[in-house]
Amino acid sequence: MSDKEPAYTLDNLPDDIPANPGWKPLAWFAGIILLLIGLGEVLVVFGWELLELIGEGIFLAVEGSEEFLEDAVEGWFGLEPWEAEMYTAWVTSPIKLVLAFFILRAIWRWKKRKVLPAAKRWLARRWLIIRLSWRGLWWPWKAGVMSLGVGLLFILI
């Protein structure tokens, strides 16, 4: 949260969040947790494949331009292919590293300034709604949910 926004608690609620949101936020939370547990391996494999695809795209973009430059240097200076490849690698590698550093630094600063605070506010708001829903449950329901959670942990572990 920023300095201008108050930290919302169970006693200090924003106007658009009801004091008792009902059981639906808890049901959504439990469903999402169960879905993440059930699809965990699929999500990990999908993430790995997505990272491989991004890496291959970056490799093709960088290596393709380097091959074009090698051919041009070879023609301009009448060099052997291995010489053109060596000179191109020695010249372009530091440039690519510096550019990658500045691009990654800019992305990190943007993420730190914009994305992370927005995600933190969104998650804090959702967690507050879940806490309000939990507080509004009758104690036998809480005991049932807790025993169900412990049973699921025994099954999963």
pLDDT band at 38 (very low <50, low <70, confident <90, very high): confident
Sign of the Cα torsion 143, 146, 148, 154 reads negative
Question: What is the average pLDDT score of the chain?
Answer: 87
Q: Determine, yes or no, domain membership for 42.
A: yes
Q: What is the mean pLDDT of residues 138-157?
A: 85
Q: Model-level pTM?
A: 0.61
* 107 assigned to some structural domain: yes
In a domain, 18, yes or no: no
Q: How far, in Å, CA of 128 to CA of 5, rounded?
A: 15
- For residues 22 and 29, give the distance between their C-alpha atoms in angstroms, rounded to a whole number: 13
Q: Is residue 113 part of a domain?
A: yes
Cα(151)–Cα(157) distance, integer angstroms: 10
Count up the domains in the chain and report the number.
1
Domain boundaries, position 42: 24-156
Q: Is residue 5 part of a domain?
A: no
> What does the longest C-alpha to C-alpha distance in the chain come to?
85
Residue 136 within any structural domain of the chain: yes
Which pLDDT belongs to residue 118?
92
Task: Specify if 10 maps to a domain.
Answer: no
